A and B are shown apart, each in its own frame.
Chain A
Amino acid sequence: MSKAFAKVVTANALRSGRVVWLSESDGWTQDVLNAALFTDAEAAENALARAAANTAEVVGCYLADMRATESGPEPTHFREAFRRDGPSAAARIPTIGA
């Protein structure tokens, strides 16, 4: 009952620190829906190696599990969902009074 292989390459941008994903065109996108989804393990590892060699643009590349949807890749684990969405809606609002 092995899960179908589906991963994206993700990292943080070196300058801004923001979460980015490797796009189809081998660039970096801030929208996971535009990320390249790899369904082949070898292709994913190759893409990761290429991306990780790019140390002037990104930090901490790794492969993250996704599932394919019609609009694009969607995280399967909540950690990746938080990386996509940013802090919980409430946590994003600083103290604004009682």
Chain B
Amino acid sequence: MYVYTDFDCAFLTERNQQFRAQVARRLDGSLTEEEFRPLRLMNGLYLQLHAYMLRVAIPYGSLNPDQLRKLAEISERWDRGYGHFTTRQNIQFNWPELPDVPDMLDALGEVGLHAIQTSGNTIRNVTSDHFAAAAADEIADPRPYAELIRQWSTDHPEFQFLPRKFKIAITGSPSDRTVTRAHDIGLRMVRKDGTAGFEVIVGGGLGRTPMLGKVIRAFLPVADLLPYLEAIVATYNLLGRRDNKYKARIKITVHENGLEHVRDLVEARFAEIAPYFDSEATQAELARIAAHFEAPVLPEVTESDYHTARANDPAFRSWSDTNITAHKKKGYGIVTISLKAHGAVPGDATSAQMRVVAELAEFFGQGEIRVSHEQNLILPHVALANLPVVYSVLKRHGLATANAGLLSDIIACPGMDYCALATARSIPVAQELATHFERLKLEHDIGPLKIKISGCINACGHHHVGHIGILGLDRGGVETYQITLGGDGTEDAALGERTGPGFSYQEIVPAIERILRTYLALRHGREETFLHVFRRIGLSPFKAALYHSEAADAA
């Protein structure tokens, strides 16, 4: 794990002291809300529907046990005993009180965590593959690059007032688990003639105007990473629109100016600035960072206990079928700890659960924990032989739901249960879908399925790239849910297609059931997933099921 340098620690301490003084001045009335608001947002503090919300970055989704225990302590001491993991690899505390926030930030600082650049028109927390350094298909661990980008972007003087927020995602594997094509910049590691470099994707984003990113550079040598990123952001900083907030993201800049024009400007800027980047120093820094991420030495292990448990315990077998992913080293597995128990709030973990996961990581997982953008926790390096005991502990704490990648593994944004921008609720829709299909005992039969729910057009729940996407809107004072089908957030990224008019809160779960019954009726066997069927037959059979049966019912 990356350990902060003295420079980083001093920077954090100073930043926290500044904010403590700012909070004090707000509380004693010397700062107005207009003056204070940008300051609190720079430190991750939002005012939500019912309370403040503190958003803490989990850089590239990696945590060590001490950090996770600290998050548990913070949620217990200053919040309500739980935290909410988000699609941006952040954790959000939903109930802090303003006078306590400086103490919370100091507590975070003790373990090298912070809330900087989790808000505002800056380069946000860089997200990365939650299976990094463990996935069997990986070319290289993307996290050293993510850390390099974090160091370059944090408090970068040129990029504190961009036209709009700026999100970067990076993956080191051909399988894209980070939704790179829905980011302002997506970086995918590729090989050319045996050397590793990046495919650079630009202009992706969801929200009001969803767009998939386009390849601006097919192969970028690793040594050119920072000057090239700087060239993109500098070009955007000048070209991006500041007249209209809804047209300010780089996706619109690319769309309005054309990829070719943007590419020419970026390449010209790159040629100009690259000589000023000391690429040897960058390489040396990268090597220094990479040493912190050195993969743990995993001893040779036997698998026999694992196979015995699978043979004897059907519940364990079912869980290991869904929640274990192949590890690059034989005898090991990647464990997905579901934060989606049927009926629970997707992405919530109690402080007790956080401590349990921290302990498991310490004892059985090489001290590593990951946070996935799918709002689950990951133990990336667990010996298969230890899985039966890991499973039994998880089970005792409500963390062993066998549903990773299935229907109830739903992404849901906070929606109107917490978010001030929401137009409808999303959490209870996720809860009801999960419990409804659990009652029907259908989710294992339905197989791989990604349902993603957003409570407003901002699309924090990634609904456009859900196999089934649900968007909650306010239509004339009534919560209304629009459905999109066929979205995909992987390397084959696609935006979902709208089915038609939306459904009320009461109608949305039955509507999803009609879609899935149509899928079950039309698939060519279990191997044909929902997404495959959608790609084969398109929208119309689903539309018919959604809208005609309604007309028939009404008749």
Contacts and interface: CB of A to CB of B under 8 A. Distances in A.
Given A56-B29, A97-B398, A77 B98 contact: no
A75 B477 CA distance: 12
Nearest to A58: B33
Interface stretch (A31-39, A43-51, A66-74, A80-88): A80-88
Nearest to B351: A94
A41 interface: no
Which of the listed residues A88, A91, A96 has the most CB atoms from chain B within 10 Å of its own CB?
A91
Contact of B50 (A17, A76, A78, A96): A17
Interface string B65-80: 0000000000000001
Nearest to B438: A98
A97 B343 CA distance: 9
B97 A17 contact: yes
B428 A83 contact: no
B398 A88 contact: no
B344 A96 contact: yes
Contacts of B28: 56
Nearest to B34: A55
A81 B418 CA distance: 13
B350 interface: yes
A96 B342 CA distance: 10
A87 to B, nearest CB: 4
B339 A14 contact: no
A90 interface: yes
A16 B52 CA distance: 8
A98 B342 contact: yes
Chain A interface mostly helix, strand, loop or mixed? loop
Given A59-B33, A97-B398, A14 B98 contact: yes
B51 A16 contact: yes
B82 A95 contact: yes
In which size bucket is the chain A interface? 20 to 34
Contacts of B372: none
B477 A91 contact: no
A81 to B, nearest CB: 10
A95 B350 contact: yes
B29 A94 contact: no
A94 B350 contact: yes
Nearest to A18: B51
B416 interface: yes
Nearest to A60: B47
B50 A86 contact: yes
A88 B27 contact: no
Nearest to A84: B50
A97 B27 contact: no
Contact of B47 (A12, A78, A97): A12
Contacts of B417: 82, 87-88, 91
Interface in B333-377: 339, 341-345, 348-350, 353
Nearest to B418: A87
Contact of B428 (A18, A56, A77, A88): A88
B242 interface: no
B290 interface: no
Nearest to A77: B477
Interface string B382-403: 0000000000000101111100
B349 A95 contact: yes
B528 interface: no
B540 to A, nearest CB: 33
A19 interface: yes
Nearest to B32: A55
B50 A83 contact: yes
B497 interface: no
Contacts of B81: 94
Contacts of B92: none
Given A14-B98, A87-B418, A88-B425, A94 B47 contact: no
Which of the listed residues B49, B80, B342, B427 has the most CB atoms from chain A within 10 Å of its own CB?
B49
A60 B32 CA distance: 11
Interface in B416-435: 416-418, 422, 425, 427-428, 431
A61 to B, nearest CB: 10
Contacts of A77: 477
B99 interface: yes
Contacts of A94: 80-82, 344-345, 348-350
B479 interface: yes
A60 B353 contact: no
Nearest to A19: B50
A56 to B, nearest CB: 4
Contacts of B543: none
A93 B97 CA distance: 20
B49 A83 contact: yes
B169 to A, nearest CB: 26
Interface of A: 12, 14-19, 55-56, 59-60, 76-79, 82-83, 86-88, 90-91, 93-98
The 4 closest A-B pairs by CB, nearest first: A97-B398, A94-B82, A87-B417, A17-B52
30 contacts: A17-B48, A17-B50, A17-B51, A17-B97, A18-B51, A56-B28, A59-B47, A60-B47, A76-B477, A78-B474, A78-B477, A79-B474, A82-B416, A82-B425, A83-B49, A87-B418, A87-B427, A88-B427, A91-B417, A94-B345, A95-B339, A95-B341, A95-B344, A95-B348, A95-B398, A96-B341, A97-B397, A98-B341, A98-B395, A98-B400
Given A94-B348, A95-B348, 14 more contacts: A14-B27, A17-B50, A17-B95, A55-B32, A76-B477, A78-B479, A82-B416, A82-B417, A87-B418, A90-B427, A90-B431, A95-B350, A96-B341, A98-B341
